[in-house]
Amino acid sequence: MIDSSLKQLSAALAGKQVSAAELATVFLERIERLNPTINAFVTIDRDRTLAQARAADERRAQGERAPLLGVPLAHKDIFCTEGWLTTCGSKMLANFVSPYDAHVVSRFKAAGAVMLGKLNMDEFAMGSSNETSHFGPVKNPWDLDRVPGGSSGGSAASVAARLTPAATGTDTGGSIRQPAALCGLTGLKPTYGVCSRFGMIAFASSLDQAGPMTRSAEDSALMLNAMAGYDERDSTSLQRPPEDYGRDLDKPLAGLRIGLPREFFGSGMDDDVRAAVEAALNEYRKLGATTVEVGLPNSGLSVPAYYVIAPAEASSNLSRFDGVRYGHRAAEYGDLVEMYCKSRAEGFGAEVKRRILIGTYVLSHGYYDAYYLKAQKIRRLIATDFQRAFEQCDVIMGPTAPSVAFRFGEKSADPVQMYLSDIYTIAVNLAGLPGMSIPCGFGAHGMPVGLQVIGPWFGEAKMLNVAHQYQQGTDWHARMPEGVK
Ligand code: GLN
């Protein structure tokens, strides 16, 4: 059961081979046994989960037939969940119980999915290794001495360790794709605006986007069908007719044109990653695809532009955490200003403070034009690069991350080294494009490698088709880490 796809679980529930309550119990028991080692979940609540499962069983008994009805899954702790703790990986929100559900969470509830709990993450989604979480780092199920990636590290580790069949994540600069790559999963960041950000704690609003983290592309399509959709409570939510993201899964790939950005295949990528990516490209050629070199001449500026824009937005978004209305408040203070200062000094970790300082600086009078405005111009150039590249190809491919999962502590002392983990993913967020990571082999130390697939705007169904066809002929995505059996 723990190795079944969402489709198989859905069929087993429909065929009454298993009830939602039984299924939830199987996963809860695994979580209770393995989570003390992996630290992927920060909140579990057996009684509430089982109550949701029984409610799903009841809905089925009433004749309801939605594909995710009774299927267990878990949410990154950045999504507000009514009545449950929503910590965003921070001491600042360690005591915060949300009074409402995020839009994405309410969509899953309406679909009848059962929530197994809330997943660990880098504090306020700032990080690439999960080491910035207030609740301690998540372990990579493939090697407990290595990071799972971040910031959706709890989501990635929980799915890889079969603690949940699927999870939600969010991706501001790579936080779905990079942990998916490091843990051997399929992760999809949709086009900006496809999933509502309502109730998703904001990091950098113009970049943040929710998406599924699953074992297969087929499962990602099922998840995205539930998550996507217009929401009037998010002013950047797109009003588009509903789509079946799985509609093209079975289309053959003959004639597919794959763009290979020369900037992604230069130096910077480890040899083991390169070998796995090249092998995957050969697989695609066998499936009838052709490859063409494309240029993304401004992509080298994506990391610097991101580290102006994202902190700028974060410094504004995080100003709401002032110790007044919710979250951490210092125990002792003299006046109001001291209460703000002490609460924020105690509640935020070092990486969050670094971003607030950078963001405040680049937005300040006198530096705004030199940094923030400049970064916005670069952002436009990057989007235009992609637009031109997509005139020559249907999808773009390359590595998701420059290396396999690294060891704890290896990059945490040097923020710039950590920031470079997202060198291949960040441009996609800046351009608002959809991107995926799919497992394409194993590299050094037997760690998984991810292939990045980037689609044109609203190319989710195409990307899923491209990923699914590859997964029909390979089994990288089906491998299970030995240590967590
Ligand atoms: N690692 C990047 C950062 O720290 C991206 C994080 C994300 O996508 N949430 O900003």
How would you write the pLDDT of the chain (485 residues) with one tens digit per residue?
Answer: 899 999 999 999 999 999 999 999 999 999 999 999 999 999 999 999 999 999 999 999 999 999 999 999 999 999 999 999 999 999 999 999 999 999 999 999 999 999 999 999 999 999 999 999 999 999 999 999 999 999 999 999 999 999 999 999 999 999 999 999 999 999 999 999 999 999 999 999 999 999 999 999 999 999 999 999 999 999 999 999 999 999 999 999 999 999 999 999 998 899 999 999 999 999 999 999 999 999 999 999 999 999 999 999 999 999 999 999 999 999 999 999 999 999 999 999 999 999 999 999 999 999 999 999 999 999 999 999 999 999 999 999 999 999 999 999 999 999 999 999 999 999 999 999 999 999 999 999 999 999 999 999 999 999 999 999 999 999 999 999 998 87
Whether 186 contacts 217, CB under 8 Å: yes
- Residue 115 tokens read as 């929530």
Measured between alpha carbons, how far is 354 from 367 in angstroms, rounded to an integer? 17
Among the residues of 164-301, which ranges form H helices?
177-183, 217-227, 271-286
339: Cβ contacts below 8 Å, ≥ 6 apart: 323, 324, 329, 330, 333
Measured between alpha carbons, how far is 485 from 482 in angstroms, rounded to an integer? 6
Q: Is ligand 1 within 6 A of the CB of residue 128?
A: yes
Residue 127 alpha carbon, nearest atom of ligand 1: 4
End-to-end CA distance of the chain: give it in Å, rounded.
13
Residue 126 alpha carbon, nearest atom of ligand 1: 4
Q: Is ligand 1 within 6 A of the CB of residue 172?
A: yes
Amino acid at 273: V
Q: Is ligand 1 within 6 A of the CB of residue 173?
A: yes
Q: Is ligand 1 within 6 A of the CB of residue 174?
A: yes
Ligand 1 centre and the CA of 173: distance in Å?
A: 5
Ligand 1 centre and the CA of 307: distance in Å?
A: 10
Q: Which of 152, 155, 158, 175 is catalytic?
A: 175
Q: Tell me whether residue 151 is one of the annotated catalytic residues.
A: yes
Q: Which of 10, 19, 76, 155 is catalytic?
A: 76
- Could you give the angle at which helices 302-317 and 350-363 cross, rounded to 10 degrees? 100
Residue 306 alpha carbon, nearest atom of ligand 1: 10
Residue 307 alpha carbon, nearest atom of ligand 1: 10
Quick one: which H or E segment has residue 438? strand 435-442
Q: Tell me whether residue 76 is one of the annotated catalytic residues.
A: yes
Ligand 1 centre and the CA of 429: distance in Å?
A: 10
Ligand 1 centre and the CA of 317: distance in Å?
A: 15
Spell 294-316 as b/e; 16+ CB within 10 A means b: bebebbebbbebbbbbbbbbbbb
Ligand 1 centre and the CA of 204: distance in Å?
A: 9
pLDDT at site 485: 79
Q: Is ligand 1 within 6 A of the CB of residue 385?
A: no
Whether 204 contacts 467, CB under 8 Å: no
Whether 227 contacts 108, CB under 8 Å: yes
Q: Is ligand 1 within 6 A of the CB of residue 310?
A: yes
Q: Which of 151, 155, 343, 421 is catalytic?
A: 151
Ligand 1 centre and the CA of 444: distance in Å?
A: 24
Residue 174 alpha carbon, nearest atom of ligand 1: 8
Measured between alpha carbons, how far is 305 from 381 in angstroms, rounded to an integer? 11
Q: Is ligand 1 within 6 A of the CB of residue 180?
A: no
Q: Tell me whether residue 319 is one of the annotated catalytic residues.
A: no
